[in-house]
A and B are shown apart, each in its own frame.
Chain A
Amino acid sequence: MQQRTLIQVEDLTHVYAPGTPFERVALRQVNLQIAAGKRVGILGPTGSGKSTLAQHLAGLLKPTVGHVLLDGVPVHSAPRDHRLQVGIAFQYPEDQIFEQTVFREVAFGPRNLGLDEAEVTARVRWALEMAGLDPETMSQRMPFTLSGGEMRRVALAGILALRPRVLILDEPTAGQDPQSRRGLLARILAWQEETGLTLVIISHALEELVLSPAEGLGQAVERLVILKEGQVVANGPTRHILSDDALLNAIGLEVPEHVKLLRALRQRGRKVRTDLVSAAEVATEIAHIWGLTPPPSPSPRRGGEEERRA
């Protein structure tokens, strides 16, 4: 596993509409490193600067102060192809769809890269498959006739087809039902595992960034960066943050239901871990408290070790 720093945010401050009555500081002196091949979650309430930070990571905004470096090169001022190593899906990415067929929509990015048609076709097929859409039946359909969930997957395929090294997803599951939510997240995490890309997921719900969306995938993100009023208030491995009651209370974040359950058990005088990310892990822990089985199965422990290496 690579541990090289891929993205470096140095002293980043962003001010919207400077010098006007609408001036607003969205980010204050943010410092941050993201290692290659990691899954990172950016968490914070509405207006905390998450989306602004995401756009900076993709080089779409000019820092008011500070730098955002990708491979040591400022990503905003670098040539286009350097910036295009970062793919970004905005909230409701289906809003960006404009082509007449799904194929052309997904091919738009690769064509802008100047790839030849054979490569474009191969990438479209690959991206559609990754997004869980059948290239045979979908390619020639009109995007505007698809369902909302399908449109979102087409839009994500359009970004994936650029084959970015870093993928930023701003609230990728917003406005979807719980099942599609988990399905989409599981699919995204599977891409990350398969391609080794660096994944940044933005959300306002701790639960979404923590809970394992499918068996065997572990926690949704490995690291959490928590923003509040434009400042980084916490930055660390997901499980550490999850078990740090004092920190979570100080930030005032709504903790996931299963953490509330585990805390309640602890209040009744039991020694209970709260850094758990799936129903299976919680079941193992509770069974352990009841003395039903020998010490917890190795899966959460292994997760813990991964954290320490990260």
Chain B
Amino acid sequence: MNQFFPGLYLPSDSPVHRLDPRVKMSAVLLLMMAPFALPGPEPGRRDGFWGYLLLSAFVALVSVVSRVPLLALLRTLRNLFWIGFFMFFLYIFTTPGQPLAAWGGITATWEGLLAAGAQIYRLCLLVVTASLLTFTTSPVQLSHGLEALLAPLEGLKLPVRELAMVLTIALRFVPTLFEEIEKITKAQRARGVDFRSGGPLQRARNLVPVFVPIFVSAFRRANDLATAMDARGFRCSPHRTRLRQLHLGLQDLVAVLVVLGTVLAAIGIERLA
């Protein structure tokens, strides 16, 4: 593979990698909700500083233990640039409070600046936490964990096993798809397509020579895969066994307690103090 995709599984043998995927997914869900349980910086109330600090420190600790390079982790934040950009202006101009500066009819407020900072920070924490999961858990483990966690919903006629299989296949083909897009983009550039210039209409039109071949090959690949699965007698039956069974170990229990403790501590500092 010639490309690095932010958020893609980084094989390693760290303690975090070895955790049960069910535990990791539940822990990440909890950690992702935690920042939203903390108070935002609202006038006359606490700013949640110590809670955020505790959560951030914990995430940093996990990234060190899991041997995910900090740079790789921070790169995943690049995708947030535009949404962060819009949130910043939305909050800074719409939050009432002490005026910071004013142009025409719109006023930027000090409270708005704080709120924007806090919201963007929450979002960054969210993405970094989620990336830690995908960096340390292989796609197969992810879908296996999801299947196990959603298993109770089978009673509600939710096709859990099929969904998990679809997820596995989708994750498996993300890098393949990116490689394909890159190859076709280059091939069409060599035929004179200029992806970097032209108006919005021309740019949209330039996508046709890339996406038509991508769709054609994706459908062909899907067909081949279906045939191959069929030929090996694959069925999403409840009696299907697995090569690797999930087992909860001592390390999983420790992980659950540590995460739970951290989250409760973070909320506790802010809510009770």
- A residues near B, CB below 8 A? 16-17, 19-22, 24, 26, 55, 58, 60, 80, 83-84, 86-88, 90, 93, 95-98, 108-109, 112-113, 144, 158-159, 162
A87 touches B212 (CB 8 A): no
Contact indicator B184/A109 (Cβ below 8 Å):
no
| B4 interfacial contact with A, CB 8 Å | yes
Residues of B within 8 A of A90 (CB): 183, 186-187
Measured CB to CB, the nearest residue on chain B to A89 is B187
CA distance A87 to B189 in the complex (A): 10
Interface code B174-215, partner A: CB below 8 Å = 1, 0 otherwise? 000000100110111111111000000000000011101100
A96 touches B72 (CB 8 A): no
| 24 A-B pairs in the complex with CB atoms less than 8 angstroms apart | A16-B3, A17-B2, A17-B4, A20-B4, A20-B72, A20-B75, A21-B69, A22-B4, A60-B186, A60-B190, A80-B192, A87-B190, A88-B190, A95-B180, A95-B187, A95-B217, A96-B184, A98-B209, A98-B216, A108-B191, A108-B192, A112-B193, A158-B191, A162-B191
Cα–Cα distance between A108 and B208 once the two chains are bound (Å): 12
Whether A21 contacts B208 by the Cβ 8 Å rule is no
Could you tell me the distance in whole angstroms from the C-beta of B112 to the nearest C-beta in chain A? Answer: 36
Q: Is the interface of B mostly helix, strand, loop or mixed?
A: helix
The residue that B213 contacts in the complex, of A97, A109, A159, with Cβ under 8 A, is A97
Closest to B8 in A: A22
Is the CB of B156 closer than 8 A to any CB of chain A?
Answer: no
B250 at the A interface (CB under 8 A): no
Other than the given A22-B4, A159-B190, 9 more pairs (CB < 8 A) read A17-B2, A21-B72, A22-B3, A60-B186, A90-B186, A96-B184, A97-B213, A112-B193, A113-B192
Out of A16, A95, A112, which one reaches B191, CB within 8 Å? A112
CA distance A87 to B4 in the complex (A): 27
**B residues engaging A (CB < 8 A)?**
1-4, 10, 69, 71-72, 75, 180, 183-184, 186-194, 208-210, 212-213, 216-217
Per DSSP, chain A at the interface is: mixed
From the candidates B69, B75, B186, B190, name the one contacting A86 in the complex (CB within 8 A). B190
Docked Cα-Cα span, A19 to B4, in Å, equals: 10
A166 → chain B, closest Cβ, in Å?
11
A109–B2 CB distance below 8 A: no
- Residues in A with CB closer than 8 Å to B1 are 22
Q: Are A96 and B187 interface neighbours, CB within 8 A?
A: yes
Name the residue of chain A whose CB is nearest to the CB of B217: A95
**Contact of B212 with A98 in the complex, beta carbons under 8 Å:** yes
Asked whether, in the complex, the Cβ of A21 is within 8 Å of the Cβ of B184, the reply is no
Give min CB distance, A85 to chain B, whole Å.
Answer: 11
CB distance from A128 to the nearest CB of B (A): 16
